[in-house]
Chain A
Amino acid sequence: MSAALESRKPSTEAPTTALDIGLGIVALLVAMLVGYGWFLGFHVDNAHNGLIAASFSAVGLYVVRMRPRHREGWLFVAVGAVHAVMFFGRQYGHAEGVLPAASWIGWLGVWPLPLAIALTGWTFMAFPHGRMLSPAWRRAGLAMLAVAALMATMSALWPVDHDRIGMVSPHPLELSGSETAARLWPYLLPSYALFQVLWTAAVVVRLRRARGDEARQMRWLVYATVMAMVLLVAGLAVLRSPVPGALVVPLIPVAAGIAIQKYRLYDIDPVINKTLVIGSLVLVVTTGYVALVVGVGSLIPAGTGWLSLLATAVVAVAFEPLRRRAQILADRLVYGHRATPYEALSRLSAQLDEAPEELLDGIAATVANAVGATEVVVWVGEEARLLPQAGWPHPPEPSEPSRLGELDRGAHRHVRPVVHRGTVRGAITLRKPAGEALTTTEVRLLSDLVAQTGLVIAQQQQAQELQAAARRIVSAQDAARRRIERDLHDGAQQRLVTMGLELGSLAEQAQASGGPELAARVKEVRAQLLETTADLRELARGLHPMVLTQAGLDTALRMLADRSAIPVRLTVAIPGRLSREIEVTAYYIVSEALTNAARHSGADVVTVEVARVVEGLRVGVSDDGCGGARRRHGSGLEGLADRVAAVGARLTVDSPVGGGTRIRTVLPCA
């Protein structure tokens, strides 16, 4: 993999032979100084210098060999080299039996210390690119270097630091003024602490500001540093030894090296996450265990055997909820507001229960939340015709259909086709903040979400197809009713009326020609005929109210109220005409409700309210009758509910026994 990375490096950064030779010499020198230093014996107080020298040099040289212009690499080399010299000097000065020139070489192990500390600080402040955050930070760094230089000079001239470090070999110079220097020195010593505060502040500020790759690089460094600190403190506290802390010091440059060179290859987040969980658990469990054993033990003077057992049991019982809490806390700390994969998926499945039209919006939001995207768009359609259907943080602009291959236009846009049963059903596109790539975790989570989206889109399309089919059935039914009404009007009704006219004429003639019996019989037939036409008239009106088509819903509802067997309080507020589909649906709701009320409810009055509201056409019919209306199979109410569902609305029937009946809906108006 590194070969692949190297091949992509620009040619200007290729290592030259001269550079190789130079780096080789530096490596050799550091190796000699550190190697010979170790050979001279082991001194706990010096060990960290040796480790720093070896690790920083190695990492720095590697980075510089790969990317000769990388400033941070050179800083690492410098830190390593200074520490190598110091390590060697100290080891030499500490050696058993005085070696030749011990005091001068030992001197080299003492006075560069302030410079080494300041240089290390600078290196941290400049991580990961080798540049300071801002000119202000740069000035602060330079001030640090200046103070360090002053201290190093003093330390070089007078033995102010020799005694503190416990150097065996004496200071090689015996200049006057050493007492003054010794008096001043304690005032300068706190500078070391200030240096550390300064670079810690720089790292924290950079960590907070960092986005994308830089943030990921910073996390590597901070993780290693914190681990080293924890081990140092733990070692000091438990073993009363700095050795564990010192031994893990190389972790820091190694982590930093990975951060500089390979941050794209390894995701530090899960590691940090797990460490936080395990760390906090170990802490809590240990504390709980100790508190229990010590606390209860002091109260009950019994054998500690069963106490340990009890403590173990209690801790074991408490473990699982604690682990979960710790996991959530760790997720928050590491991912910020981003959801864990589990959270994201469970939130999504909770949304699957919601209204289908909002589902895709929910998916967009879930995706954004899960991968920290700045913009998410859900596209639906075929591979060559995708339309934006939902989006986060705002709904997408309506646009022309796009091909799948065109969706990756624009910066930082990631495209994931949504495939269901081998067919492209849509796509999810998302934008990450500049410089931020999808992590392996995010890629996995995204593919899970995309798979779910496929199901949702397929389900939604089926629901839409079903509704469209229901709509077609209802409108075909309405068309058929209109046609039959028209046929009756122009055919049977017309003919019956004409027959009535002829019978009337016959009756007149019979009367005139002196046949009163015949006239009476003809009139009898005519009367029957008129009853038939009246029946047919009602039938035709029930099939399709012509008034609705002619004069609109307002008039048609008024007509229903006029003809209702129960008094109707009618309130209609509709500005102008609505679509035929909605008018007919509203008409049938009121018609059916009035018929039901007249037949079954025994109500004294029915209230009908029809009003155009923002969401659509609100239709409500309520009576003060006996209630108990049920949506039985094949009943008028069921037919109404189906009709209402066909236009994408829902019919609510509230009919408690003895409490009247309320039928409500809001029909969507385009």
Chain B
Amino acid sequence: MRVIVADDAVLFREGMARILTEVGFDVTGQARNGTELIRLVRRGAPDVVITDLRMPPDFADEGIEAAAEIRSFAPNVGVMLLSQHVEVHHALRLMDEFDGAVGYLLKDRVSDLRAFAADVRRVAAGHVVIDQELVSRLVSRRRERDPLAELTDRELQVLALMAQGLTNAALAEELFVSVKTVEGYIRSVFTKLGLQPGEREHRRVLAVLQFLRQQ
């Protein structure tokens, strides 16, 4: 699987390229900023790009901007965004603007090499990955009238994993149950919360995140 990595910190970038190679990725390029990343992708589209969110020149959200442009000319390239902080508004934007094949993780996650590699592959396969810290922050928020109180522990677990972008199959695997059982949980969650299940995966994530963000 071909990967291009982009980060302005050279040690981190090279370290990541090395471990990705160790676990079987083909790192076809390294970029120091968004512009370079776009140029590299134009030269030869990889299956997925892994990019820092905050890069030169302004250290704002150059990673997302670059990803959006890549999506416009190479719609099949998966995008994994890494950041020191994960913020809800960024996650919502990614779910809203990108038609799937997008991930948003804390940089810390690269230290669990296997999990990270799996997440990158899911993104490359067109799925959605949202950092669990962001999701657990939203799920554990105190609310004035908490609709989540009506969910069973298992349903809550399903909700959190759905928000992280897991597919029904992945959910079943994670929970050691059948896909049919998972579908039952999901129906129950959506009914209790009054949510409309989206047709597409990233739509479902968006709906859940938006719901979790409400008061």
Give Cα distance in the complex from A486 to B112, angstroms: 26
B110→A504 contact, CB < 8 A: yes
A567→B142 contact, CB < 8 A: yes
Q: A488 to chain B: closest CB distance in Å?
A: 9
A498→B15 contact, CB < 8 A: yes
A550 nearest CB neighbor, chain B only = B60
Q: A499 to chain B: closest CB distance in Å?
A: 8
A498→B141 contact, CB < 8 A: no
Q: Tell whether B172 is near chain A: CB-to-CB under 8 Å.
A: no
Stretch at the interface among B41-49, B82-90, B154-162: B82-90
CB-contacts of B89-147 with A (<8 A):
89, 107-108, 110-114, 137-138, 141-144
A541→B85 contact, CB < 8 A: yes
Q: Tell whether A501 is near chain B: CB-to-CB under 8 Å.
A: yes
Q: Tell whether A558 is near chain B: CB-to-CB under 8 Å.
A: yes
Q: B30 to chain A: closest CB distance in Å?
A: 14
Stretch at the interface among A16-24, A236-244, A489-497, A573-581: A489-497
B18→A505 contact, CB < 8 A: yes
Q: Tell whether A479 is near chain B: CB-to-CB under 8 Å.
A: no
Q: Tell whether B19 is near chain A: CB-to-CB under 8 Å.
A: yes
Q: Tell whether B50 is near chain A: CB-to-CB under 8 Å.
A: no
> What residues on A are CB-neighbors of B84 within 8 Å?
489, 493-494, 497, 537, 540
Q: Tell whether A65 is near chain B: CB-to-CB under 8 Å.
A: no
Q: Tell whether B54 is near chain A: CB-to-CB under 8 Å.
A: yes
B11→A498 contact, CB < 8 A: yes
> What residues on B are CB-neighbors of A540 within 8 Å?
84-85
B110→A500 contact, CB < 8 A: yes
CB-contacts of A545-595 with B (<8 A):
546-547, 549-551, 555, 558-559, 562-569
Q: Tell whether A45 is near chain B: CB-to-CB under 8 Å.
A: no
Q: Tell whether B183 is near chain A: CB-to-CB under 8 Å.
A: no
Contact flags A136-147 to B (C-beta < 8 A → 1, else 0) = 000000000000
A530 nearest CB neighbor, chain B only = B108
- Is chain A's interface secondary structure helix, strand, loop, or mixed overall? helix
Q: Tell whether B213 is near chain A: CB-to-CB under 8 Å.
A: yes
Give Cα distance in the complex from A277 to B98, angstroms: 89
CB-contacts of B23-78 with A (<8 A):
23, 54, 59-61
Known contacts A497-B108, A498-B9, A540-B84: A508-B138 contact under CB 8 Å: no
Give Cα distance in the complex from A530 to B22, angstroms: 22
Known contacts A501-B19, A501-B110, A562-B138: A604-B144 contact under CB 8 Å: yes
A530→B111 contact, CB < 8 A: yes
**Set B87, B108, B114, B215: member contacting A547, Cβ < 8 A:** B87
Give Cα distance in the complex from A529 to B108, angstroms: 9
Contact flags A586-612 to B (C-beta < 8 A → 1, else 0) = 000000000000000000110000000
B138 nearest CB neighbor, chain A only = A562
B110→A558 contact, CB < 8 A: no
Known contacts A504-B112, A505-B22: A565-B12 contact under CB 8 Å: no
Q: Tell whether B80 is near chain A: CB-to-CB under 8 Å.
A: no
B13 nearest CB neighbor, chain A only = A498
Q: How many residues of B contact A (CB 8 A)?
A: 34
Give Cα distance in the complex from A502 to B15, angstroms: 7
Q: Tell whether B3 is near chain A: CB-to-CB under 8 Å.
A: no
A538 nearest CB neighbor, chain B only = B85
> What residues on A are CB-neighbors of B85 within 8 Å?
537, 540-541, 546
> What residues on B are CB-neighbors of A503 within 8 Å?
111
> What residues on A are CB-neighbors of B59 within 8 Å?
486, 489, 546
CB-contacts of B4-19 with A (<8 A):
8-9, 11-12, 15-16, 18-19
A566→B138 contact, CB < 8 A: no
Give Cα distance in the complex from A183 to B87, angstroms: 116
A562→B88 contact, CB < 8 A: yes
B12→A501 contact, CB < 8 A: yes
Most-contacted residue by chain A among B19, B23, B84, B110 (CB, 10 A): B84
B113→A505 contact, CB < 8 A: yes
**Set B22, B114, B142: member contacting A565, Cβ < 8 A:** B142
Q: Tell whether A219 is near chain B: CB-to-CB under 8 Å.
A: no
**Set A495, A533, A558, A567: member contacting B11, Cβ < 8 A:** A495
Most-contacted residue by chain A among B23, B87, B89 (CB, 10 A): B87
A533 nearest CB neighbor, chain B only = B108
Q: B160 to chain A: closest CB distance in Å?
A: 16
Give Cα distance in the complex from A568 to B138, angstroms: 13
Give Cα distance in the complex from A166 to B61, angstroms: 116
B144→A567 contact, CB < 8 A: yes
A547→B11 contact, CB < 8 A: no
CB-contacts of A85-142 with B (<8 A):
none
A495 nearest CB neighbor, chain B only = B11
Q: Tell whether A431 is near chain B: CB-to-CB under 8 Å.
A: no
Give Cα distance in the complex from A168 to B81, angstroms: 130
A499 nearest CB neighbor, chain B only = B111
Q: Tell whether A526 is near chain B: CB-to-CB under 8 Å.
A: yes
Q: B159 to chain A: closest CB distance in Å?
A: 17
Q: A568 to chain B: closest CB distance in Å?
A: 7
A551 nearest CB neighbor, chain B only = B89
Q: B62 to chain A: closest CB distance in Å?
A: 10
B144→A605 contact, CB < 8 A: yes
> What residues on A are CB-neighbors of B142 within 8 Å?
565-567
Q: B25 to chain A: closest CB distance in Å?
A: 13
> What residues on A are CB-neighbors of B19 within 8 Å?
501, 504-505, 508
> What residues on A are CB-neighbors of B89 within 8 Å?
547, 551, 555, 558-559
A501→B15 contact, CB < 8 A: yes
> What residues on B are CB-neighbors of A493 within 8 Å?
84
Other A-B contacts than A490-B8, A494-B11, 12 sampled, CB-CB below 8 A, are A489-B54, A489-B84, A495-B11, A497-B107, A498-B15, A500-B110, A500-B111, A508-B22, A546-B85, A562-B213, A563-B137, A567-B141
A and B contact pairs by CB, cutoff 8 A, 20 listed: A489-B54, A489-B84, A493-B84, A494-B11, A497-B108, A497-B110, A497-B111, A500-B108, A507-B113, A508-B113, A508-B114, A541-B85, A546-B85, A547-B89, A551-B89, A559-B89, A562-B141, A567-B143, A567-B215, A569-B144
Top 7 A-B residue pairs of the complex, sorted by shortest distance between their CB atoms: A500-B111, A504-B111, A498-B12, A497-B107, A567-B144, A494-B9, A550-B60
Q: Which residues of A contact B (CB under 8 A)?
A: 486, 489-490, 493-495, 497-498, 500-505, 507-508, 526, 529-530, 533-534, 537, 540-541, 546-547, 549-551, 555, 558-559, 562-569, 604-605
